[in-house]
Amino acid sequence: EKALTRITDRTQIVERYKTTLQLQGDPGKGKSIFNQTCAACHQLGGMGKELGPDLKTVVNHSPEKLLSNILDPSRDIQPGYHAYQCELTDGTELYGLITNETGNSITMKKTDGSVHSILRKDIESMRGGQLSLMPDGLEKGLSHQDIANLIALLRLGGEAIQ
């Protein structure tokens, strides 16, 4: 029920921000938005980190889809980018992406970029897979124009970053 409420709330936020799609975006200004908001996890035009998907892969997405992906990141998660939480037998908790699995171990990449190989025998519990590592609420620090500028940059595939 809590997840359903979250999805409904995010859907309403996407609806509220649809007016953003009427604004003319400036990809040059979108570069600073990318650097502040996205580069900690995503690459574009050779800049940023490799935690989330490389954003050159979204160049052909419609502005509507980009808006939805920015404001409701868990609605449409690319394979390999579902977030997991592991509790280890020693009480340690790890949160990140599973980048590799074998019969004996998993490899997890955390949000700070560190990579951990974990033996399955050391895992007390593991849950997740329903949410994106990308946080909800990015709109809180951005104006409608900021989002329009970011969408304009993404549609260029990062050319304005060069």
Contact 56, 45 (CB under 8 A): yes
User: What pLDDT, on the 0 to 100 scale, is given for residue 135?
Assistant: 86
Confidence class for position 159, pLDDT limits 50, 70, 90: low
Nearest to 146 by CA among 59, 68, 32: 32
Q: What is the pLDDT of residues 62-103, one digit of tens each?
A: 999 999 999 999 988 888 888 999 999 999 999 999 999 999
Domain with residues 2-77+135-161, CATH architecture: Orthogonal Bundle (1.10)
Q: Which residue ranges make up each domain of the chain?
A: 2-77+135-161, 82-132
Distances (CA, A) of 107 to 19, 70, 80, 104, 129: 41, 27, 12, 11, 15
Q: What is the pLDDT of residues 108-138, one digit of tens each?
A: 999 888 999 999 999 999 998 788 888 888 8
Output the pTM of the full model: 0.82
CATH fit for domain 82-132, picks 3.40.1110.10, 2.60.40.10, 2.40.110.10, 2.30.30.100: 2.30.30.100
